[in-house]
Each structure stands twice: as C-alpha cells, then as structure tokens.
Amino acid sequence: MDIVIVPTAADVATYAADVVADRIAEEPGTVLGVATGSSPVGIYRELARRRAEGSLDLAHLTCFALDEYVGLAPEHPRSYAAYLDREIVRPFGLAPGRVRVPDASRADLEEAAEEYEQSIAAAGGIDLQILGIGTNGHIGFNEPVSSLSSRTRVTALSAQTRTDNARFFDRPQDVPTHCLTQGLGTILEARRVLLVAQGERKAAAVAAAVEGPVAARCPASVLQFHPRATLVLDEDAASGLTLENGHRPVPGRGDGAGQGGSGPAS
C-alpha cells in the first residue's frame, strides 16, 4: 500500500483531488467510484472548484456509488442518491444518468444487486475508486466480518456504524438498519483505489487496515491485496501507525499528484 501523510484534512482533499484530476486529464471518460460520508466531501468540492474556474472538465465522467441505504427513497435528503446529486451531479455538471447508485428502493434487492454488478461491468469496470473508512474499518458498508470476496448485496449495518451515522439524521432511530453495498471483492476489482481518512477517530481503523493482518474483522485490510491502493491521511488519522519507514511523502519524488509523491510502504 502506498501511504501518504499530509498535515491537515484540507491537504488530504487537495492531494486526493490532484490524483483524481490527473487521471481525468489522461482519460476524460474515467469511470470513477464515489464514496459518500464526510471524508470525500473536500475532494468533490475541490474538483468542483477547479471545474468552476475552468481548469477541469468533468462532464465525461461516469460515476458509481459504493452503497445506498435500504428504506430511503432517492429523494430522501439523507439517501446517498441525494448526497451525490448535491455533491457531484450538479457541481460537476453531469447528466444525471452518469451517476449510478444501487437501487435500494426495489422490491427485489438481490436482483438490484446483481444488476448493479452488471452495470459496473458494462461500463468497463471502475478506473479509480475513492473510499473513506469507518471507525470499525468498514469500506462501503462492508462491516466486520464481511467476506473478503463479497459482491454487491444486501447487508445489515453494525451498531457502531448506525451510531456513527446518527449525526446525519434527526433521530438515532431514523438511521436505516440495512443497505445495498458493493462487496469487498467488487471494490478490489477497481483498477486503482484512493482511500482518504482524516481525524484521530479514524486512527485505530487506519492502523488495523495498514499494519494489521488481512482479516474480515477489519474489512479495509483487504486493500493490502490491491496492487494499486493509495491511502491519503492527515497527521491525526495516521497517528496510530507505528511502521514509519515509507509512510512520509518523499520530497521531490513526483507521482503525478502534485505534492511530491510518497514512498512505498511495502
């Protein structure tokens, strides 16, 4: 895994936006996997800012969400469809059909999951997957102890995740209990993975993902199997790491991300 540690959350957004923008400059029709939650918001706003100033054309992207809550209609303000409409469809200037979200309002959720896998495949697979990480090590909504080769499916949210996400809802009991999420096997098929984490509350999950064993109890640890996974962390999110060698950006060693690149962690 390639670990990049930068001083602040704002630096995480800038660095990660550079990686995404470089990819889009190479291939305007990039298929982008888009996480929701608070972690990637700074990336999306930085990309939208560059588009607004005229330095970045995002109109040819195709985007796939990682997950969606079961029981929230797409129009519900806390649905991930609504989040992506606010943070991506409109600010990126995309035609709505260019951002796909698992259809968690369908009666047959297994069929919806299967169709979602097929739509990713039909788009040629995901070129660059943006990820956050849950405090329990989840990615997408693959909670501990998801199968490391899981595919898009219906699954239950853990008590920890429902507590963490209660801040987005009026009342804790309004947090849905289930979701449709891409599986860990699905995520591993993305050609490049870019995980961002900010803040001390993510430090333990980041340390388990990077330095712990590959284990279903920390789903993000499966990224150790990915040939091209980059983690961009602020100092606080990196504070649980103990194997320092290679975790710091190496000055002057460009990787195309605009801030000097990083040394390989392994």
Q: Which residues bind ligand GLP (CB under 6 A)?
A: 35-39, 66-67, 132-134, 140-141, 161, 165
Q: Closest approach of Cβ 66 to ligand GLP, in Å?
A: 5
| 69/92 with CB nearer ligand GLP | 69
Catalytic residue (one of 87, 136, 142, 236): 136
| 66/109 with CB nearer ligand GLP | 66
Question: What string of DSSP letters covers 47-80?
Answer: HHHHHHTTS---TT-EEEESEEETT--TTSTTSH
In the bound state, the residue with its beta carbon closest to ligand GLP is: 132
| 56/146 with CB nearer ligand GLP | 146
Residue 57 annotated as catalytic:
no
Burial pattern 128-157, b for ≥16 Cβ within 10 A else e, equals bbbbbbbebbbbbbbbbebebebbbbbbeb
Q: Residue 142's closest CA among 192, 187, 204, 78?
A: 187
Bridge partners, 180 (sequence order): 68, 154
Residue 67 annotated as catalytic:
yes
Starting at the earlier edge strand, list the strands of the sheet with 192-197: 2-6, 229-234, 192-197, 128-131, 31-34, 62-65, 99-100
Residue 136 annotated as catalytic:
yes
Catalytic residue (one of 2, 11, 18, 67): 67
Catalytic residue (one of 143, 211, 234, 236): 143
| 59/159 with CB nearer ligand GLP | 159
Q: What is the dihedral of CA 57, 115, 186, 86, to 10 degrees?
A: 40
Residue 138 annotated as catalytic:
yes
| 56/175 with CB nearer ligand GLP | 175
Q: Closest approach of Cβ 182 to ligand GLP, in Å?
A: 10
Q: Closest approach of Cβ 68 to ligand GLP, in Å?
A: 9
Catalytic residue (one of 68, 103, 117, 138): 138
Q: Which residue has the tokens 């968690």?
A: 104
Q: Closest approach of Cβ 245 to ligand GLP, in Å?
A: 27
Q: Closest approach of Cβ 113 to ligand GLP, in Å?
A: 16
Residue 90: CB atoms within 10 A of its CB come to 12
* Contact by Cβ (8 Å): 146, 167: no
> Which amino acid, residue 176?
P
- Report d(CA 35, CA 83) in Å as an integer: 10
Q: Tell me the backbone φ, ψ of residue 165, rounded to 5 degrees.
A: -90, 0
Active site residues: 67, 136, 138, 143
